[in-house]
Structure 1
């Protein structure tokens, strides 16, 4: 399963996130604060996408150095939870823009978004280092690619912390923002209501994709934390569900940029402009080449 699934996701995810990164950069240049979070999210997803070929090699039982495997493992978990924090930032940014459009202008500036985005990365890295230290992975990096089976109490503590801070808290924040935006739309007769509905659809799709991608994985991790310690029977029974749900998490990094680029009018406008510029450059080059060939022949 892994080679086929990861190959497909890499083929889709890498160019999609490159496009999303380009679109977000263009929007940042125009003062769009949410695009700052999208840049960080695209970078996070790109890092994860780049790691997929290594996981494919690992799944095919080919030789992968421990150092490379450890590095890829770190990238995977950092992408998981940094991405969760950045999706929360996007949700809060849209919540403030729709529910309180006349307030929090300074909070929604590009400079503030850069600070918050960097803070999310720094906080996530610090928390992740502390968790790795707690489970002893910093002292023996081999634990990253060769996990203890069945789980020990240290692993259980790390798993529960990740479930609460890295999954339940982001789900609560995104759900709250979506609910408040929908409530605001019901009371708003403004001509901007349709644009706000698009914001609501964007947050709903991001939330649904997040749940579909991570809920199975987090559920299996919760079951492992409860049933697996000291019990090899449960460890064996939960091994295959764990491997399958890890692969499902790749959906998030693949679909997020596609959803954003399809729903956001500003993003679609930038994509159309990029396509038009590309066609113009291609046409000019072909015309110049044909003109040169005609001159040579004549």
Structure 2
């Protein structure tokens, strides 16, 4: 450890709290999210790349959302080891801060880009012929840079305090203070207001406008309406379930937690709500990849690409020799020749009619 024992003792936690939930529920959730979230977000990143390649500004937001999820997924092995060792951090304080930053970055960057996606969809559906300047690749890139810069600056200001301390069992605790410190109150109020409540209002406003327009639209296909409604409903459910309980309990702690007794009573419920935020890493790829009308086409491209690469060169050579007329070049030539013949016959017919 880089910190001296004196520094650790200054941050000693006097509360004796039962941490059994960290050895039972937390490892299961972290391992499950890691196993599912890593491949799902890698696939989501490729899907976002396809969107960016197609010059769709939505792909920029999807890409940033997935990167935030992946960064947090990569930190999960450290949290798994931490909870399995009975909340004893065996690494230095810098790595504790990095893992803590990735945890909170994932929450608030995900919230920010969920809002960006909702506003982008709102402008596309409600005002399809206006605000084009806000729905461009350049605008999406600028917004993404601003979001990352804001969150990194906020974390730098927040995590200037010591984040490791010793509990009553002399375990080095990472990122946990019971009861919460005085300097945490204002920060938690800011996180609740700016990081959850205001984005929640934006989501309600944008998606209410989207649903209102979709219901009144007679030209939109029924399948498209169902898809839009499913995207809207799923986003709201994920936002409320993954981030709602945690921020409500965060506000509750900031308002009422002044003793170890209260911290002990709310400990299990608070950490279950924190685990719910982790499921955001699994929910985001499912929501924005599998709710798109182009997803199945994209997956078909991935499947075909993988199939072609798995085939041996011998099989490909035999296929080309056996079916030379089915190659794209041959078909293109035949179509070109047919177009020329058709044009020539049309000219002959016109000349013949003029002579008559």
- TM-score, with length taken from structure 2: 0.75
* Cα gap change, 1:194 to 1:103, in 2 (>3 Å): farther
Which residue does 1:80 correspond to in 2?
107
CA shift in 2, pair 1:286/1:169, >3 Å: farther
Distance 1:153 1:88 in 2: 31
CA RMSD of aligned residues (A): 2.2
DSSP-derived class of the 1:147 partner: coil
- Does residue 156 (structure 1) correspond to residue 185 (structure 2)? The answer is yes
CA distance in 2, matches of 1:120, 1:15: 25
Which structure has the highest helix share of the two? 1
Quote the residue 2:20 is aligned against.
none
Equivalence for 2:174: 145
Answer whether contact 1:98 1:196 (CA < 8 A) is retained.
no
In the superposition, relative to structure 1, how do residues 243 and 215 fare at CA in structure 2: closer, same or farther (>3 Å)?
same
Choose 238-247 or 178-187, whichever is displaced more.
238-247
Aligned: 1:264 with 2:277: no
1:50 counterpart residue number: 74
Contact 1:94/1:199 (8 A) holds in 2: no
Aligned counterparts of 1:14 and 1:107: Cα–Cα separation in 2:
32
Does 2:90 match 1:64? yes
Give, in whole Å, the separation in 2 of the partners of 1:286 and 1:237: 68
* CA distance in 2 between partners of 1:106 and 1:100 (Å): 12
Distance (whole Å) between structure 2 residues aligned to residue 196 and residue 104 of structure 1: 23
8 Å contact kept, 1:220–1:242: yes
Deviation at 1:272, TM superposition (A): 1.6
Q: Give the whole-Å Cα distance in 2 for the aligned partners of 1:258 and 1:45.
A: 13
Aligned length: 285
Counterparts in 2 of 1:57 and 1:17: CA distance versus 1, 3 Å:
same
> Which string of whole-angstrom CA distances, capped at 9 and with x for unpartnered residues, describes residues 119-145 of structure 1?
111122223333x1xxxx414343792
Change (3 A) 1:147 1:63: closer
For 2:348, the equivalent position in structure 1 comes to none
1:124 is aligned, of 146, 151, 163, to 151
How far apart are residue 277 of structure 1 and its match? 1.0
Runs of 4+ in 1 over 6 A off after TM superposition: none
* 1:185–1:193 Cα contact (<8 Å) kept: no
SS of the aligned residue for 1:101 comes to coil
Unaligned runs of 5+ in 1: 289-298
Q: Secondary structure at the match of 1:124?
A: helix
Pair 283,149 (structure 1): closer, same or farther in 2 beyond 3 Å:
same
Q: Does 1:189 align with 2:218?
A: yes
- Correspondence list, 1:277-288, <5 A: 277-284=305-312, 287=315
Structure 2 alignment gaps of length 5 or more: 1-24, 166-172, 317-356
Over 3 Å counting, the alpha-carbon distance change for 1:280 and 1:251 in structure 2 is same
Greater shift in the superposed pair: 215-224 or 14-23:
215-224
Larger radius of gyration: 2
1:39-73 CA distances to partner (integer Å, 9 max, x unpaired)?
00000000111111111000111653033222111
Q: TM-score, normalised on structure 1? A: 0.89
Q: Which residue of 2 aligns with 1:14?
A: 38
